[in-house]
Amino acid sequence: MSRARVTIYVCVSCRISIEGDECNFDRPGGALACTIKGCLSDAGAADIEVKPVECLAVCTRPCTIALTGEDKWTYVVGDLDAQAHASEIAAAAQLFAASGDGIIPWKERPLPFRKGVIARIPPKTYQLAETAE
């Protein structure tokens, strides 16, 4: 069995109020995860896994994902739309998987990634380069 090189964690707890009513809300993460899986399958991207998670603790910026891989920087991206952004998330994940360190150049990032990045977290193996004094 092959091991995924990249994982997309999709928050399925995020709530988005319907028509501004805080008592009436949708949880679009489940639909987003399914749609991303379909996009990746269509692209033949078997090395990218999609995993729903209970909470990424970015409740003010739903819908949220985390894109991670071994020895790669991790991206946390919010303000995603389950209907409109799934194919762009799949494309970004493929760029991420193809990169050596996980850093996707700014101009190559799909628009939702440019606008929605919440954090970029270094891999455990990261070492700050020495700077000349």
What DSSP letter does each residue of 93-124 carry, written as one string?
Answer: HHHHHHSSSSPPPGGGS-HHHHHHEEEEE--T
Q: Which domain holds residue 64?
A: 6-74+86-121
CA distance 74 to 103: 9
Number of domains composing the chain: 1
Asked if residue 61 belongs to a domain, the reply is: yes
CB atoms < 10 A from the CB of 56, how many?
A: 23
Give the N- to C-terminal CA distance of the chain in Å, as an integer.
49
Mind listing the pLDDT tens digit for each residue in 26-79?
Answer: 778 899 999 999 999 999 999 999 999 999 998 888 899 999 999 999 999 999
Helix (H) or strand (E) holding 6: strand 6-11
* Confidence check: pLDDT of 7 > 70: yes
93, 8 in Cβ contact below 8 A? yes
Predicted model pTM: 0.86
Asked if residue 48 belongs to a domain, the reply is: yes
Asked if residue 26 belongs to a domain, the reply is: yes
CA distance 36 to 87: 7
Asked if residue 18 belongs to a domain, the reply is: yes
Mind listing the pLDDT tens digit for each residue in 78-103?
Answer: 999 888 999 999 999 999 999 999 99
Asked if residue 131 belongs to a domain, the reply is: no
The pLDDT confidence band at residue 128, using thresholds 50, 70 and 90, is confident
Asked if residue 126 belongs to a domain, the reply is: no
